[in-house]
Amino acid sequence: MLVVDSSVWIDFLNGHRSLESEYLATCLSDDVPIVLPGLVRAEILAGLRGDAEARSIESLLKAFDATPEASYDDYDAAAAIYRTCRRAGAAVGSVVDCLIAQTCLRHGYTLLAKDKDFRRIAGHTGLRLVEFS
């Protein structure tokens, strides 16, 4: 299963070409199973300018299964990821990214992301990222 971070979705939805958005397009055309964390959904929808656009994108996003909701243990683990990275000199900008990473770690999902914070997290955890050579 694949989780796609909001930065990739935003590129894809805005027609901005990147390795990640093109990979997402390929995954969508090849019916690769994609799951959507609620936090990613909220990040995507929060960035939209108008209600009509939001309704359209909400409808599109309903095509993807939601990841299971985070438990207290997941929140605790996300905070631990944040502290681990900070101690290692690889500070992460957002605990939200740590929670998305924890969701992937807990359920064995692979993450497609552009955000450098996820590379920092992967360097100190078992987070699997889609890598481009």
Instruction: Give the pLDDT score at 26.
Output: 97
How far apart are the C-alpha atoms of 83 and 47, rounded to whole Å? Answer: 28
15: left (phi over 0), alpha (psi -120 to 50) or beta: left
Domains and CATH numbers, the chain: 2-129 (3.40.50.1010)
- Mean pLDDT across the chain: 96
How do residues 83-102 score in pLDDT, each as one tens digit? 999 999 999 999 999 999 99
| Segment 80-85 mean pLDDT | 98
The answer to whether the predicted template modeling score (pTM) of the entire model surpasses 0.85 is yes
| Segment 34-47 mean pLDDT | 95
- pLDDT at residue 2 tops 90: yes
Q: Which residue has the tokens 């996003």?
A: 61
Q: Which residues contact 31 (CB under 8 A, 6 or more apart)?
A: none
How do residues 6-38 score in pLDDT, each as one tens digit? 999 999 999 999 999 999 999 999 999 999 999
How far apart are the C-alpha atoms of 129 and 127, rounded to whole Å? Answer: 6
Q: How confident is the model at residue 133 (pLDDT cuts 50, 70, 90)?
A: confident
Q: Which residues contact 79 (CB under 8 A, 6 or more apart)?
A: 95, 98
Distance of CA 52 to the CA centre of its chain: 24
